[in-house]
Homo-oligomer: A and B are copies of this chain.
Amino acid sequence: MNKVVVRSKIWLEVDGSALIGEGRERLLQLIDEQGSISAAARQMGLSYRKAWSYLKSMEEALDVSLVNRQRGGMGGGSTGLTSEAKDLLVFLNQLRTKFDDFSNELEMVDF
């Protein structure tokens, strides 16, 4: 038979509600890359309002700020991630690596 592999998807929950999974993680990564919530939302096919509501709900659940606004300047200001948001992304990345390593070490079913 062909080789069976275990795949997994992970997300974080707070009080039984989804905090962050692949979609919101991608949103944070894009805000970091683009320096703008609206550019990040556009790239994900989300409305600004929706992207903002995701950010607000994560900030409320964690009780930390995830984005920083720098107003003014030549480009009209930009939005970046706070160190807490960056820590969260690093943490999710490490988690995924741990889960992948764990999956690869599992003894597989044998028919």
Q: Which residues of A contact B (CB under 8 A)?
A: 1-15, 19, 61-64, 84, 87-88, 91, 95, 98-99, 102, 106, 109, 111
In the bound assembly, the distance between CA atoms of A32 and B97 in angstroms comes to 36
Residues of chain B contacted by A87 (CB below 8 angstroms): 109, 111
Determine whether the beta carbon of A10 is less than 8 Å from that of B8: yes
Q: How near does chain B come to A12, taking the closest CB pair, in angstroms?
A: 5
Docked-complex contact A13 and B5, CB < 8 angstroms? yes
How close is A108's CB to chain B, nearest CB, in angstroms? 8
Given contacts A1-B64, A61-B2, A109-B87, contact A10 B7 (CB under 8 A): yes
Contact B11 A7 (CB under 8 A): yes
